[in-house]
Amino acid sequence: MPPTNFVKVDQLTPNSLNVDLVVKVLHCDASLQCLGGSQFSSVTVGDETGTVILRLPAQQARFDPGSTLVLRSARAETCYGQLRLELGRWSRLALADSAKLTPKLQNDMSAVQYCLTR
């Protein structure tokens, strides 16, 4: 099995697939309810290069600020023109031992507005 190649938050682009990241939880936002009745939460996470919003089902989004997460096979998608990290069917999310990450708050990747070009 090949070694895992972890990427940094600032390397994410719209439609990035199968990305592995180690991030620190900054804060969890309120749950949002979708039309189908499912609830999602937005968790702001980051590393030394920037921050991004991770969208999770509400039952998975119970993390304390400062927790370190390992994301495997996550994907980056745009939602209303803003970058979001999401987990797919084969993605994994795990708590890790506390890493010495100091997230770079000045580089919010989810604040960048993306537009579709043809």
pLDDT digits (tens, 9 = 90+) for 12-22: 998 899 999 99
CA–CA gap between residue 50 and residue 106 (Å, rounded): 7
The pLDDT value recorded for residue 79 is 83
For residue 1, pLDDT beyond 60: no
pLDDT bin (cut points 50, 70, 90) of residue 2 is low
CA distance 83 to 38: 21
Instruction: Give the pLDDT score at 94.
Output: 92
Q: In the numeric block, which tokens belong to residue 90? A: 């084969």
| Token representation of residue 39 | 């609830």
Contact yes or no for 92/22 (Cβ under 8 A): no
The structural architecture, per CATH, of the domain 9-99 is: Beta Barrel (2.40)
Q: How much is the pLDDT for 114? A: 82
pTM over 0.75: yes
Domain boundaries defined on the chain: 9-99
Give tens-digit pLDDT for 36-88: 777 888 899 999 999 999 999 877 878 889 999 999 999 999 888 899 999 98
Mean pLDDT, range 14-38, rounded to an integer: 84
Kind and range of the H or E run holding 55? strand 50-57
